[in-house]
Structures are given as structure tokens and as C-alpha cells.
Structure 1
Amino acid sequence: MNKSILTLSMALALGGCSLIPDYQRPAAPVAVAWPQGAAYNEVGTAGAVLPEWRNYFRDPALQRLIATALDNNRDLRVAALNVEAYQALYRIQRAELFPQVDARGSGTRQRLPADLTRTGQAETNGEYGATLGVTDWELDLFGRLRSLSQAALEQYFATEQARRGTQISLVASVANAWLTLQADAAQLKLSQETLQTYEQSYKLTRRSFDVGVASALELQQSRTAVEGARVSVAQYTRLVAQDGNALQLLLGSGMPADLPAAQALDQPLLAELPVGLPSELLQRRPDILQAEHALKAANADIGAARAAFFPSISLTARGGTTSSQLSGLFDGGSGTWLFQPQINLPIFTAGRLKANLDYSRLQKEVQVAQYERAIQVAFSEVADGLAARGTYQQQLQAQRDLVEASAEYYRLAETRYRTGVDSQLTLLDAQRQLFVSRQRLIDTRLAQLGSEIGLFKALGGGVE
């Protein structure tokens, strides 16, 4: 009989109704296609598959650095531990659905003085017992516990997406930090070469000044160029050191000892990146998936708040043996059992239950807004990336052409200055323009690579 009661109770607890509202995914508050116009030369195609980061980044040195960061970065480690923590919280909440069976043993020996006994003589009494059963197990007839369990499960899924988002951000951050280091190293090398050129010109101008051919103005103009180049050398020396420190922070360890040589910035460092339709972001972007799981958790909390209005039934049931002597604990006829159901019906709570339900509904509306916001941010980031892709190639080619023109301008100006046709001012202007155009070429290439990496991240790439 006791077994039948326990079985029936478990069936009621696990098969009760659910008051969780039917979940409906909110409509995406963005256009169904990417923006069109002169700045865009890429149209999304359905089913585009993003490459994994190992296939997207072609520089072996960068691949090694990303792998090192994924193994050692502390932010990613914290995100992974948070996933495990929320998984444990889900298991704790889910365990509330099932009875917690425990075994208990007790023993008591008590001496009573003569004036407290019925016989008028001192007595020593004993009581021993052993029981097996459950205590205060709530029968989940209206789905309160299952709603809380569902909410905990969705929070666990949300933290897993947060971990994926952290990994994607880490991959992009390491790539940007490495390319920034390479660009500043290239700027440092360019500044050092330019300084040598300016110093040579200054020495020649100094000799001309000493023999009365060059004026004091020309000498100071040449010196100004030298000092300006020294400023650039000092600036990029500092930036290279700081870039290395920032990269090591992302790696979570020192630079690998056997790191391959870095590829030059003008090499094809990134693979081609396909772009899918806007709707595909809903399945790719971890932040969107995280927001949707948070929305589902808030939806499940409404079910728990609704169930709180209904009666709650808890059950205590135990069976075992008891005896006045330890030796007779398991003798025939010593059996004992307890069946103690308890019902709690809320009658007056001063509006607490209604306020809790209102709060749960408002939290769901907050999560809906955050979900829609996540979609809008994702759409904007991808649209910006597409606009950058459509214009950076043209800008980069125009900058290369400018460097070639500046180099030719410098060659002609130097020839005319050496033959006495032009003044040194023209030569210094040509040197300065060539230096600046080469600097901007490095900056433009870095910006173009950064925009491609940003688009890769915006599309949800970077996860194996």
C-alpha cells in the first residue's frame, strides 16, 4: 500500500500541468536583406558557411597565438567555469522534482528518578529506531518546480552562449593585437629608414652651409625633418612595446618560444569570407542566442509565479522499525510507518503573489527588448562590415597609387635639387609626402584587415 501511494505521488509530481506561457520568438526588428548602395559590393546568400578560425587566419604565427590564448586566457577560463557553475545550479533545481530518500537511525537511553515514574521507583528506559523515507517532498501538481527547473536550464544555455561569445571576442582580439603589433613594427622600421635618409640629407646640407652654398633657413628645414623622424621613431618604439604587452595579456602567458616568423601585412592573411542572409544571424551570433535563452528563462519564471497562486502539497512518508531494546530492533512486530501529507493554500498574502507575477511579466518584456536590441546591434555591425569591405579595397589601391606617385615625385625632386634646378624646400616636401603616404598605407592596410576581422566576428565566426 505504501509503495502504491509513493508511486502515485511521483506520477502526480512529474506529470502535473504546466503554467508556462507558450513561447513565441519575437519577430526580428531588422530588414530581410542587407543594405544596398555604392558602399556595398557584397550581397548575402542563403546557407553561407563561415570558415573556422584556423582556416580563416592564414598566418601560422597568428594561428599559434590564437591557440595559446584559447588555452590560457583568464577571461575565457572564467566564462567556462561560469558554464559549469550554472550547470550545477540547474542540477540542484532539477533535483527538487524528485523525492530525497534518506535513512535514519536513532537511539535513546534515559534514566528517570523515582518521583517522576508511575511505579515510584527509578527506571531506565530505551528507544531505538531505524527508518527509510522522504521528508517534505513537494508534489509539483501545478508545475512550479518544473518551471523553475526550465528557467535554470535556459540560464545554463545562456551562459554557454556567453562562453562562445567570449571565445569569438578573444579570437578577434588576438588577431587585431597581433596585426597592430606588426603594423607598428612596420611603422617603426619605416621611421628608422626615413630618419637615416633625413640624417644623410642634413649632413649634406650642413656641408653646403659650411661652404656658403646653403642658407641657414635650408639648414633648419633639414634639421626639422630629422627631429620629426626621431619623434616617430620614439613613438613607434613605445607602441611596439605596449602592443607586445597587450598581446601577452590576451594570451594569458608569455609569447611562445618557437613562434613562426610573421607574414608581411601586404600578404593575403585572411581567407574569403562569405556573408549569409540576416536571418542566419539568429542561429550564429552567441549574443543573440544568449538573449533568447534569457528570454525563455524569464518566460519559465512566469509559470512559476502563476503556480504560486495554487495550493502546494508536500509529502512526508517513512517506514521502519522501533523497539525499546537495541537487540529487538528487527524482531517481528516492531514495524512502524508514517504517512503525513500537508497542503498549503495561500489565502491572503498582501498582494505579494500578484506583485511577483507582475514582476515576472515585466522581466520578460525587458528580455524581449534586450533580445531585439541584440539583433539590431548584430545587423548594424554586419552592415558596417559590409560597407567597410566595399570601400577599403578601393581606398587601399588608391593609397598604393599615391605611394608610387610620391616615390616618383621624390626621385624627380632629388634629381632636380642635385642639379641645382629646384630648392631644398621642394626636396623636403617630397620626402615628407613620401613618408606620410607610406605611413598611411600601413594604417589603411591595418584598418582594412581589422574591418574584415570585425565582419568575421559580427557574423558569429571564430568558434570551432
Structure 2
Amino acid sequence: MKPPEINKMNSKHIAYHAIAVGVLALLSACVSFDGIQSQSQLKSIANEGNAGIFAQQQGLWPASDWGVVIGGHELQALIDAGLSNNPSLQAASARINAARAVNAAVSANALPSVNASLDSTYQRFTEHGLIPKPLAGTYESNNQLALNASYELDFWGKHSAEMRTAVSQEKVAEAEKQSARLLLSSAIARSWLQLARQYQQLALSEQQLAVREKIDQLTLQRLKAGLETKSEIQQSLLQISSIKNDIISWKEAIALTRNQLAALLGAGPERGQQIPTPRLQTNMAIAAPANLPLELISRRPDIVAARWRVEAGQSEIDLAKNQFYPNINIVGFAGLSSLGLDNFVKSGSSIVGVGPTIRLPIFEGGRLRAQLKNKVAGYDVAVATYNQSLTDALHEVADQLQTLQTSEAQAKQQIIAEQAARTALQLAQQRQKAGTANMLPVLAAETALLAQQKLSLDIAIRHTDSQINLIKALGGGYDSKAESIASANAASNNFSAPNKPEAAQ
């Protein structure tokens, strides 16, 4: 049992600490953050923000296998290769690892800190200081071995604010990587699509050249027979030269696109030469969805990243406000201390202590308020960026839906035009076989059909390109049937073309 004197001293010690804490709490009113707050408002569509963040927390990013729908397994293999080898994605992964390291460091701040120290100094003690005789004026070693511990009492939520900031920054890095993946995969798909267009346009141009050369031969025969003039020959040569220039241009475009694909795959130009000639089914029926639920926007990684930046900004504001409050740490130590090594391990050399360390801002010359204003301004920037990203995303999706519907309407009309050209060719062939017409009308009709086939190809490519852009605008692949069901059950408004929805406040 402790003597009454010790209990009395401990009671006084505790009372002094309590009084000190109370005084410091009162003094904290000297530094205030009153009047510093954000006026920004987040735009929202249904529950898009929470849905997007929850989806990312659960790892529910849209699947990246949508390339199969566009170009089969051949295109999907290119996309997978690009996602595994691209240096920009490797850099994004490194940023995620760095953010996770920061997260781990911040997490450690909430735990007690314990460390050991050993100090031993051989010195001469002054004869005119605190050290009395017989040690004064002598040489001796000053030794201390201690186990030191400290723990910060988080009364104001400082550690939780630090953790929220670190987690948000990690999620931003993850969303940015997903955004880079989406941009890369869509770029590969669009380049592959253009390569398919260039090869098919090249093939049609070569067919046009073959037909034009036949016309040129017949024109020469008719010129020798006196049925044509030299001006017809010159006109034919002009058209042949134009077609040959087109062929040269298509071959150059193919080479450049292969180089571009190789760069997107993170490889040298030789990799581009190894890519098989794309075989795109231009007559595949890919219908544009009539409606898409607005919640799909929440999957876009750039929207999710912008939302996490808002979360990080709010946590940084909370952290800045914590600087206005007292900082209270409990520190303690236990160990051995002595003058001279001969007394170091004796029981009388033991030391032990524990107590609070309190720091309170009273006058900072406006520094803390300036820091808080800076964080509030950063939060306002994050909110404005998020709102703008949301508005842009809504317009981008609506634009792509409109383009898809327009290309579908154009494709229907082009089918009629191409069929008419095909029928005209068949009729010309019938007349030529019946002997009522020569070969020139047949070749002219074949030239017209090839021109219509080029137009049909461009419309089909534009439609597929818009589908890729829609996938990118929605943050990844989508199942048109599933999305239609989701759209029917959605409580909020839907995307629909041609009207472009505005983001609601």
C-alpha cells in the first residue's frame, strides 16, 4: 500500500494536469476558423456518386473484354497485349503502390510509437555547474538506456481525417489507372478499326483501278475504230491516275496505322507488321440502345477519380481544422541512467516517467486560417472539376447515341442505294449478254457499285467507331439487352438521343 504522502502528491499531479488541459481548451478559442467554408455544390444524377465509389471499392469496374463484340478475339488479343505491356499503365501501377505506401504510413500514425535508445558520453564535468563534488572537475561517462513510448490522443479526429485523405488518394490513383486502361483499349480498338477500313478501301480502290483499266482498253479500241475522241482517252488517264494516288495513300495510311498500333502496344514498329489484316464484318447488326440508365455514368473512371478528389479535399479540410485544436500526446520512458559505468546496472539507476505533452496554437499570425482557406479553395476546385466532368460525360454519351442513331438511318438509306447500283449492274449485264449494249455500260455500272460500296463501308465504320466511343463514354463495355432491362427499372431519367440531358443540380 502506498504511503498517504505519495497518494496526495499523485492527486495534486493529476489535478494540475486537469487544470492545464482546461486552460489550454479555453485558450483554443483564441484561434478560430469561423467564416471559412465552401459554397460549392456537387451536381448529382440519382445516386451516381455513391454508386461509383461503392463499385470501385468492391472492384466492380466494367469488364475490358468488350473488344470481342467489335472485332472478335483478334481485336481482344491486341487490347489485352496493350494493357499488359504499355509503359503508361506500368507508371500508373507504380503510383498506386506509392499511394498504398503513404496509406500504410498514415495508418501507423494512429498506433503507439515505441523505440529504444542508448546514450553513452565520456566527458569532463564542469566545476561551476549543477554537478557537485566529487564529480565536478572529473572525467566520467554519462550513460542512459531507455525504452521510450508515445501515443497521441486523437480527440478531434485527426488520424481518421489523415486516413480518409490517404485512402482517397489511393482510390484516385486506382481510378486514374482504370481511366488509362480505358483510353488505351479504346485507342487500340479505334486504330484497329481504321486499319480494317484502310485495307477494305484499298481493296475497293484496286477493284476500281481494274475496272477503269478495262474501260481504258475499250476506249482505246473505240478510238482506233473512230468511235471515240482523244479527249476521252485523256479523261480515262486522269481517272486512272487519281485512283492510283488513292491506292498509294491507302498503303501509306496502313503503314502508319500499323506503327501507331505498335506504339499503343508498347512495342517497336516491327510489332505492327505482325498484326494480322483485320477482318471486320461491316454488315453486323449492332443496334444503338434506345435508352441507357444515367447510373452507368458512375462507372466512368474519370468521374470516379474526380469524386474521390472531392472526398480527399473534404478530408484535407478536416485535417486543416484539426490544426486549430490542442495536440495532446502521452509520453513515457523506462530504463537505466547513471554517471559511470560501474553504477549503470544497479537497481538505483532505474528511471521511469509518464505524462502528457500538450501543444496549442494561440497566435499564428493567420497561418492556420490561410492554410484552411487554401484547402477550402482546393476542395472548390475539385467540386468544380467533378461537376464539369459530369456535364461533359452526359453530353458525350448523348452525342454518341445521336451519332449511332444517325449512322443507322444512313445505313438503311445506303442499303437502298447500293441495291439500286447492284440492280443497275445486273440489268447492264443482261443487255450486254443480249447484244443490245456493249461492255462500257457494264463497266460504268460496276464503277458506280464500287463507289456505293465505299460509301457503305465508311458508314459502317463510322457506326462501329461511334459504338467504341459510346463504350468509352460509359466507362467500359455494356450489354444492350441488360442495360435495356436496367433502364426500364431505373427510377431516374435516362439517356436518350437526340435530346441531350443536362446534369441536374
Question: TM-score when scaled to structure 2?
Answer: 0.73
2:123–2:140 CA contact under 8 A, matched in 1: yes
Distance verdict in 2 for CA 1:457–1:208, change over 3 Å = same
CA distance in 2, matches of 1:199, 1:256: 33
1:323–1:329 CA contact under 8 A, matched in 2: yes
Unpaired segments ≥5 residues, structure 2? 1-6, 15-20, 22-32, 49-59, 479-505
2:46–2:295 CA contact under 8 A, matched in 1: no
Deviation of the 1:439 alpha carbon: 1.8
Q: Does 1:203 align with 2:217?
A: yes
Q: Specify which of 355, 359, 375 is matched with residue 360 of structure 1.
A: 375
Distance verdict in 2 for CA 1:268–1:52, change over 3 Å = farther
2:199–2:277 CA contact under 8 A, matched in 1: no
Q: Specify which of 176, 182, 195 is matched with residue 181 of structure 1.
A: 195
Deviation of the 1:313 alpha carbon: 2.7
Distance verdict in 2 for CA 1:256–1:215, change over 3 Å = closer
Deviation of the 1:454 alpha carbon: 1.6
Deviation readout 1:330-376 (Å, 9 max, x if unpaired): 33222113446433222222222222222322322222222222222
Distance verdict in 2 for CA 1:159–1:271, change over 3 Å = farther
Deviation of the 1:270 alpha carbon: 6.5
Instruction: Tell me the residue number matched to 1:229.
Output: 243
Deviation of the 1:160 alpha carbon: 1.2
Q: Specify which of 252, 255, 267 is matched with residue 238 of structure 1.
A: 252
CA distance in 1, matches of 2:98, 2:472: 27
Instruction: Tell me the residue number matched to 2:63.
Output: 52
Q: Specify which of 132, 142, 148 is matched with residue 133 of structure 1.
A: 148
Distance verdict in 2 for CA 1:455–1:393, change over 3 Å = same
SS in 1 for 2:347: coil
Unpaired segments ≥5 residues, structure 1? 6-11, 13-18, 33-48
Q: Does 1:154 align with 2:168?
A: yes
1:51–1:461 CA contact under 8 A, matched in 2: yes
Distance verdict in 2 for CA 1:267–1:430, change over 3 Å = closer
Distance verdict in 2 for CA 1:338–1:210, change over 3 Å = farther
Instruction: Tell me the residue number matched to 2:104.
Output: 91
Distance verdict in 2 for CA 1:198–1:120, change over 3 Å = closer
Q: Specify which of 56, 68, 75 is matched with residue 81 of structure 2.
A: 68
Letter of the 1:448 counterpart: H
Moved more, 70-79 or 444-453: 70-79
Deviation readout 1:163-202 (Å, 9 max, x if unpaired): 2222222222211111111111111111122112212222
Deviation of the 1:384 alpha carbon: 1.9
Instruction: Tell me the residue number matched to 2:42.
Output: 26
Instruction: Tell me the residue number matched to 2:53.
Output: none
1:183–1:265 CA contact under 8 A, matched in 2: no
Distance verdict in 2 for CA 1:285–1:312, change over 3 Å = same
Instruction: Tell me the residue number matched to 1:264.
Output: 280
Q: Specify which of 233, 251, 262 is matched with residue 248 of structure 1.
A: 262
Distance verdict in 2 for CA 1:230–1:200, change over 3 Å = same
SS in 2 for 1:98: coil
Q: Does 1:445 align with 2:469?
A: no
CA distance in 1, matches of 2:47, 2:103: 37
SS in 2 for 1:57: helix
Moved more, 373-382 or 403-412: 403-412
CA distance in 2, matches of 1:106, 1:168: 57
1:51–1:273 CA contact under 8 A, matched in 2: no
Distance verdict in 2 for CA 1:215–1:370, change over 3 Å = same
CA distance in 2, matches of 1:52, 1:332: 68
SS in 1 for 2:352: strand
Distance verdict in 2 for CA 1:275–1:170, change over 3 Å = farther
CA distance in 2, matches of 1:302, 1:77: 32
Deviation of the 1:157 alpha carbon: 1.2
Distance verdict in 2 for CA 1:387–1:367, change over 3 Å = same
Q: Does 1:212 align with 2:226?
A: yes
CA distance in 1, matches of 2:337, 2:46: 71
CA distance in 2, matches of 1:434, 1:193: 11
Paired residues for 1:309-328 under 5 Å = 309-326=324-341, 328=343
Letter of the 1:101 counterpart: V
Moved more, 348-357 or 186-195: 348-357
Letter of the 1:83 counterpart: I
Paired residues for 1:391-406 under 5 Å = 391-406=406-421
Instruction: Tell me the residue number matched to 1:384.
Output: 399
SS in 2 for 1:128: strand
1:167–1:462 CA contact under 8 A, matched in 2: no
CA distance in 1, matches of 2:42, 2:237: 66
Q: Does 1:337 align with 2:338?
A: no
The RMSD of aligned alpha carbons is 4.1
SS in 1 for 2:216: helix
Letter of the 1:443 counterpart: D
Deviation of the 1:241 alpha carbon: 0.7
Deviation of the 1:267 alpha carbon: 5.4
CA distance in 2, matches of 1:273, 1:241: 35
Instruction: Tell me the residue number matched to 1:39.
Output: none
Deviation of the 1:446 alpha carbon: 0.8
2:262–2:272 CA contact under 8 A, matched in 1: no
Distance verdict in 2 for CA 1:180–1:260, change over 3 Å = closer
Q: Does 1:192 align with 2:203?
A: no
SS in 2 for 1:54: coil
CA distance in 1, matches of 2:405, 2:126: 99
CA distance in 2, matches of 1:246, 1:365: 39
2:116–2:146 CA contact under 8 A, matched in 1: yes
CA distance in 2, matches of 1:351, 1:302: 16
Question: TM-score when scaled to structure 1?
Answer: 0.79
Moved more, 403-412 or 112-121: 112-121
Instruction: Tell me the residue number matched to 1:457.
Output: 472
Instruction: Tell me the residue number matched to 2:309.
Output: 294
Moved more, 228-237 or 355-364: 355-364
CA distance in 2, matches of 1:304, 1:388: 47
Q: Specify which of 267, 278, 291 is matched with residue 294 of structure 2.
A: 278
Deviation readout 1:198-237 (Å, 9 max, x if unpaired): 1222233234334533211110111111011101101100
Moved more, 69-78 or 305-314: 305-314
1:30–1:375 CA contact under 8 A, matched in 2: no
Deviation of the 1:406 alpha carbon: 2.7
